[in-house]
Amino acid sequence: MLRGLLIAVGGGIVVVSTLVLQPLLPGVGPSGDERRIADLQRLSHAIEVYRTQHDVLPATLVKLPPDAAAPVHTFDPITNRPYDYRPLGPLAYELCARFDAALADEPRDFWWHDAGRQCFSLEMRDTRPKPAAAPAEAPAAGDGAPAPAAPEGGAATPPP
């Protein structure tokens, strides 16, 4: 019985230690830069959802509502500094972060970055339905000719 208890306690210590130390161990889990890219991708999605719901881009990242199902991080996971966000127009915005290293691959992915501060300019598509064209005014009753212009200083008289 005592042996089983010691095994259970030892196993618990290993699990808790792994959970606590994992972020501190290099090479285990995603790098800081990988976490930054994941954060920027989630932020981009949250900004587009906000724009769709409110018909305007958020003025700041603070305006984004919290979502327990898909948490959005507005702060760098390592430095705890806020990510930079700037609306550029009704459908365009910019997200910026500071990266530790350049990606080794050729720049072929949208989220490719060099070391240092990197900004990504994004533009949404306007998915709102276009308003229907206003119907042309029907000609006035009678001969179909336009109503006469108003005399100077007076009102137009309706056709007889």
Does residue 35 sit in helix, strand or coil? helix
For residue 127, give the DSSP letter: -
Question: Are the C-beta atoms of residues 62 and 73 closer than 8 Å to each other?
Answer: no
Residue 6: band (very low, low, confident or very high) from pLDDT cuts 50, 70, 90: low
The count of other CB atoms within 10 Å of the CB of residue 1 is 5
pTM of the model: 0.61
* Backbone φ/ψ region at 60: left (φ over 0), alpha (ψ -120 to 50), beta: beta
Instruction: Work out how many domains the chain is built from and give that number.
Output: 1
Q: pLDDT by residue (tens digit) across 13-68?
A: 544 444 444 455 555 678 999 999 999 999 999 999 999 999 999 999 998 988 77
Q: Is residue 101 part of a domain?
A: yes
Q: Is residue 143 part of a domain?
A: no
User: Rounded to whole angstroms, how far apart are CA atoms 87 and 57?
Assistant: 7
Two tokens, residue 160: 């007889």
Q: Is residue 72 part of a domain?
A: yes
Q: Report, as an integer, the average pLDDT of 145-154.
A: 46
User: Rounded to whole angstroms, how far apart are CA atoms 146 and 140?
Assistant: 7
User: Rounded to whole angstroms, how far apart are CA atoms 84 and 112?
Assistant: 17
Q: Is residue 15 part of a domain?
A: no
Q: Is residue 133 part of a domain?
A: no
Q: Which of 3-7, 67-71, 78-82, 132-136 has the lowest mean pLDDT?
A: 3-7
Two tokens, residue 26: 């290099």
33: containing domain: 27-123
Q: Is residue 87 part of a domain?
A: yes
Q: Is residue 79 part of a domain?
A: yes
Q: pLDDT by residue (tens digit) across 88-138?
A: 999 999 999 999 999 887 777 889 899 999 999 999 987 766 666 666 665
